Structure 1
Amino acid sequence: MAGGEEGKAPGRPPHPDLLLRLDAELSRIDEQLRALAAAKDRIQGLLDAVVAITREVELPAVLHRIVTTAMDLVGARYGALGVLDESGEYLEQFVAVGLSEGERAALAKVGFPRGMGVLGHFIRHPEPLRLDDIATHPASVGFPPGHPQLSTLLGVAVSIRSEIYGDLYLSERRDGQPFDVYDENIVIALASAAGVAIDNVRLFEQVRAGSEQFQRLLLPALPDMRPFDAAAIYRPATEPSPLGGDWYDAILLPDGAAAVVIGDVVGHDLHAAAAMASTRNMLRALLFHLRTPPSEILAQLDRTLQAITDNPVTTTSLARIEPAGSAWRLHWSTAGHVPPLLITPDRRAQYLSAEPGLPLNVSCAHDRPDHTHPLPPGSTVVFFTDGLIEHPDHPIDESLDALAALSIRYAALPLQDFVQALADHHPSDGHDDMAILALRTPR
C-alpha cells in the first residue's frame, strides 16, 4: 500500500564501549562474590576453630590447638606459640608445629627461643607484626643451625584480661604469598578467642586441683596395720569432674582382725563426694561397735542410710581378715560390688566371685550373704572400684583378665609400689575415678 507502514530500520549492535563496561562490571561483581564467599569461608573457619579450641580441657592441648587452627586459617606451613614468663620479658615455653623430625632433633641441641631478635622485638612491642622478609627487619639476628630458613612472619599477641600471655607466630604461607591484611585480621580474632579459652582452662585447672584436694582429704590415711601390710591409692576421673564417690578404708579391730572396705557412690559431683564421706564414717563407727558378720554390719548400715539420708545408690565390699589357725581367713560380704582379687604367694590370681547382694540404698528387705576363703601367709587381697577396669571398647571379662595379669606381673613389688603400678597401667579408659586397696597377710 502506498500509504502503508514503512519497514523499520534494522537494530544497531550495542556500542563497543558499552560492552566493555558491562564486562568490567560483571567481572567486578564476580570478584566481589568470590571475595564474599572467601570471607564467609574464613568466618566459618574461625568459628569452627574457636569451637575446637574451647573443647580442650588441658592447657598443653589448648596451646597446641591454637597453633594448628591458626595455621589452618591462613594456610601457614609453620606455627608457634611462645608463652611469656612472669616478668613478661622472656619466653618460658614454646609450642612449635610444622617442624620435621630432623629439624626438631637439631633444634633440641640449642633449646627453644627465649625471646631474642625479631621475637624479642615483638615481645617489647606487641602490636601485630607482618613481615615479607624477616631478614630485613632491624632486630633480625638470623636463625640457629638446623632451623628452617623462614622469610615471612605474622605475629599476634595473645592477651588474657589485658595482660599479654604469649605470642602467636605464623610463617610461610603454603601458596608462597606473603601474609596479607585479611590473614592478620582473622588471626587477631582467633588470638582474642584463644585468650578466653586459655583463661577458662586455667580456671578449670584451679577448680580441678581444689576439688581433687578436697576429695583426697575425705579419704583416710591408712593407719598402722601391723602385722598386716596395707596400701591404697585413689585416682580422680579425667572427666567430667575430679569429685567422685569412690572410697576405701582399713582399720585394725579390737579382736585382732583387720577390717577392709571399698566402695563407690553413684555420681561425679559434690553430692557424691559428701555421700561417700557420710557412708564411710557411719561404716567405721559400726565396725567398732558391732561384733557381727560383715553382712549384718552392711544391713545395719543400709537401714541407717535409708532412714536418715538421701544418698545415691552405693556399692561396697566389707571384709574381715581373721586368724584361722596358722593362717588367715577372708570373711566378706558384698553390696553389689566387684569381687576382690586374691594373689597367692606362688603368684596365682583368683577372683573371689560370690553372690554380690543388693547395693546400698536399694532395699532393706533382702539379706546379703557372707562368704569365706582361706588366705595362706603372704597372700595379697586386692579390693578395687570398677573405674579400674571399665572400658567401653572391651568386655568386662577381658579387663578383669588384664588386671589379673598385671597383678601377677607386679606381685613381687612392695605393696605401695604394687597399687601404684596397677593404677598406672590399669585396663580402663580412665573416664571414671578409681580406688585400690591391697592388704597382704604376714608370712
Structure 2
Amino acid sequence: MSRRPTLDEGDELLARLGSLTAQARERAELQRSRVELALALQRGMLPRDLPDAPGFRLAVQYVPACHGLNVGGDWYDAFTMPDGRIGLSIGDVQGHNIEATAFMGQVRVGLRALASVTGEPGELLARTNELLLSLGSDLFATCTFMRLDPATGILESARAGHVPCVWATADGKSGVAEDEGGPPLGVLAGMTYPVTRYRLTEGGVFVLLTDGVVEGPTLSVDEGLDQVVRLAGIAAVAGLEAGSLAAAVLKVAARVGHEDDAAVLVVGHDGPRARVPRMPPQPSAVRLPPGRPRRDGV
C-alpha cells in the first residue's frame, strides 16, 4: 500500500511549489524587462524623421518581432549627406536579444559617421565592415546602402548579404533588383562591395526591406519577394502614395508567419507633380528604364 503524505510533508511540498512559482515569476519579470529594454533601445536608435527632397518621398513601416522573449536587430535609416544627396540604409543583425539590438545601433551609427567621410556606397560598406571587425564582436549584419541624388534621380546601391530590393515602374513593369552584392558586414576582412546604379524617373517605386517581411514558415524568400513585386507593381500603376505601399508590403509579413523584425523603406519619385499643391503628398515610385532596371557598374 502507498503511504499518504503527512501534514508536515504536505506543507513542505506546498512551500516548495510556492518557492518554484516565485522563482519562475522572477525570471519572467527579468526577461520581460530585458525585452522592454531592447525595445526602448530600438526605438531610440531608429530615426524620428525622414529627409525630404522636391519630387521624392520616403515612407517606412517597422514592427519589432517580440516573439516570446526574442527581440531582433533590424533597422532602417535615411539622412541627408554632406553633399545634399540622401543616404538610405536597411539591415538585419544576427541574433534576437539585447546584444543584437545594441550591435544594430553600432552599425547604424557607424554608417552615418563614415558617410561624412565617403558617400560612395561600396566604399562605405567596406569601411563599415572593417570598423565592425575592429570591435571584436561575434555578431554580424546584413545591409543595403543606397545613395539617392535628387538632382538627377540616380540611385546607387551596394548590398552586404542582404535580401534584394524590389522595383516597379509607372508603365507596369516590376521585379527584383539583380545587383551582385557582397558578404555580410563583420565577417571577413578586406571585402569589396560592388555598386549598381539605377535611374529613378517619375511614377515608380523602389522598396527596401528586411527578410522578416518576406521569409517565414509559410513562404520562402522568393515567394515573399514575388508578393512584394506584385504589390509594388499595382501601387506604381495606380499612383498610390509611398506610405500606402509600405503599409501594404508590411502586411505580407503577417502572412509569412515570421518570428523576426519586419522593416520596409519605400522611396518614390513624383517628379514635377510634387510641386503642385494637393492633398497630402502622393509619393509613387521608382521608375526604371523600359524592360529591366538599368544597372551600371560604378
What is the aligned partner in structure 1 of residue 292 from structure 2?
A: none
What is the aligned partner in structure 1 of residue 225 from structure 2?
A: 400
1:431 Cα deviation (Å)?
Answer: 0.8
Is the counterpart of residue 259 in structure 1 residue 87 in structure 2? yes
- For residues 102 and 209 of structure 2, what CA distance do their matches in structure 1 show? 20
Relative contact order, higher structure (CA 8 A, sep 6+): 2
Question: Is the Cα contact below 8 Å between 1:215 and 1:243 reproduced in 2?
Answer: no
Match of 1:268 among 80, 87, 96: 96
- For residues 202 and 270 of structure 1, what CA distance do their matches in structure 2 show? 15
Largest Rg, 1 or 2:
1
1:277 Cα deviation (Å)?
Answer: 0.2
- For residues 201 and 304 of structure 1, what CA distance do their matches in structure 2 show? 36
With over 3 angstroms needed to count, the CA separation of the structure-2 counterparts of 1:203 and 1:279, relative to structure 1, is closer
1:378 Cα deviation (Å)?
Answer: 2.9
Instruction: Name segments (4+ residues, structure 1) moved above 6 Å.
Output: 195-206
Match of 1:336 among 154, 161, 179: 161
| Unpaired runs of at least 5, structure 2 | 3-17, 272-298
- For residues 69 and 240 of structure 2, what CA distance do their matches in structure 1 show? 31
- For residues 380 and 338 of structure 1, what CA distance do their matches in structure 2 show? 17
1:246 counterpart letter in structure 2: D
Question: Is the Cα contact below 8 Å between 1:245 and 1:272 reproduced in 2?
Answer: yes
Residue identity over aligned pairs, in percent, reads: 32
1:266 counterpart letter in structure 2: Q
With over 3 angstroms needed to count, the CA separation of the structure-2 counterparts of 1:423 and 1:201, relative to structure 1, is farther
SS in 1 for 2:110: helix
1:351 counterpart letter in structure 2: V
SS in 2 for 1:289: coil
SS in 2 for 1:362: coil
What is the aligned partner in structure 1 of residue 258 from structure 2?
A: 430
With over 3 angstroms needed to count, the CA separation of the structure-2 counterparts of 1:252 and 1:441, relative to structure 1, is farther
- For residues 50 and 220 of structure 2, what CA distance do their matches in structure 1 show? 36
Normalised by the length of structure 2, the TM-score is: 0.74
What is the aligned partner in structure 2 of residue 230 from structure 1?
A: 58
- For residues 45 and 201 of structure 2, what CA distance do their matches in structure 1 show? 33
What is the aligned partner in structure 2 of residue 348 from structure 1?
A: 173
Is the counterpart of residue 316 in structure 1 residue 107 in structure 2? no
- For residues 442 and 364 of structure 1, what CA distance do their matches in structure 2 show? 40
- For residues 184 and 29 of structure 2, what CA distance do their matches in structure 1 show? 38
Aligned alpha-carbon RMSD (Å):
3.2
- For residues 388 and 298 of structure 1, what CA distance do their matches in structure 2 show? 23
Deviations 1:189-230 (A, max 9, x none): xxx9xx989999888767645542332222112333222211
1:425 Cα deviation (Å)?
Answer: 3.4
2:62 counterpart letter in structure 1: Y
1:289 Cα deviation (Å)?
Answer: 2.1
- For residues 138 and 102 of structure 2, what CA distance do their matches in structure 1 show? 9
| Unpaired runs of at least 5, structure 1 | 1-31, 34-191
What is the aligned partner in structure 1 of residue 216 from structure 2?
A: 391
